[in-house]
Amino acid sequence: MSAAMLSVRGLDAWYGKSQVLRGVDLDVAPGEIVALLGRNGAGRSTTLKAIMGAVQRSGQVHFAGRDISAALPHDIARAGIGYVAEDRAIFPDLTTYQNLILGEKRGPGGSFTLDDAYALFPRLRERAGAPAGALSGGEQQMLTICRTLMGNPSLVMIDEPTEGLAPMMVQAVRDLLERVAARGTTILLVEQKLAIALAISRRVYVMGRGRVVFEGTPADLAADGATRREWLEV
């Protein structure tokens, strides 16, 4: 693996007095799609929140050569990490267009534009004037991902993008993520649907009880029946 864009060492995290993460280590190299897998409650979503500085945490987080272990979420976002939360967090009373431009990074250095968002998912152009709350769940997911990309992050962390979507929209989200990666954006993905995660990822981490219990390629995981049975299969 090339030099890591994101490097996490000994990451612990808490909600109040309840410790959720216990010494998480992971790396994401430039241009990779890396999947973070595990059952519900394993700590996957908390890992993304801890990297983003959104929960109480300790440990080392380095991004693009910079120590962001103690940085605040808005500073982490400015450093180049985008975060797509599981709840999508759209502004339902604003139009699709207004939601998109809220994420726009102004000034020099920006490369992802409104036209890029429309090219990646043309339905957003068709629905540009509609209130975001009137979009389908799949369309809202596309909106959230594209709004995050409007900030031109180097790394996007995406939490459960296919949760609750119809099969057609699940495929559309998969296609979108592959197109985003093809543009050079690095992705750290939490995804419950194992088939999709293994199909689009270069490497995978499996979490259990707040720890990383497996690291390898999708082929490695496919061949490791014991890990799948203990930590993934219901």
Residues 179-193 pLDDT 10s: 889 988 999 999 989
- Helices 167-182 + 137-149 axis angle, to 10: 10
Rounded Cα–Cα distance for residues 81 and 140 (Å): 21
More confident residue, 145 or 111: 145
Whole-number mean pLDDT of the chain?
93
pLDDT at 75 > cutoff 90? yes
pLDDT at 40 > cutoff 80? yes
- Are 84 and 148 spatial neighbours (Cβ–Cβ below 8 Å)? yes
152-175 tens-digit pLDDT:
999 999 999 999 899 998 998 899
Domains, the chain, ordered by start: 6-231 (3.40.50.300)
- How buried is 128 (Cβ within 10 angstroms: 0-12 exposed, 13-18 middle, 19+ buried)? middle
**pLDDT level of residue 234 (50, 70, 90 thresholds):** confident
- Give the 3-state secondary structure of residue 15: strand
Burial 60-69 (b: 16+ CB within 10 A, else e): ebbbeeeebb
What pTM does this model have? 0.93
**pLDDT level of residue 1 (50, 70, 90 thresholds):** low
pLDDT at 44 > cutoff 70? yes
- How buried is 129 (Cβ within 10 angstroms: 0-12 exposed, 13-18 middle, 19+ buried)? exposed
DSSP classification of residue 4: P
**Mean pLDDT, residues 81-102 taken together:** 94
**Mean pLDDT, residues 47-63 taken together:** 98
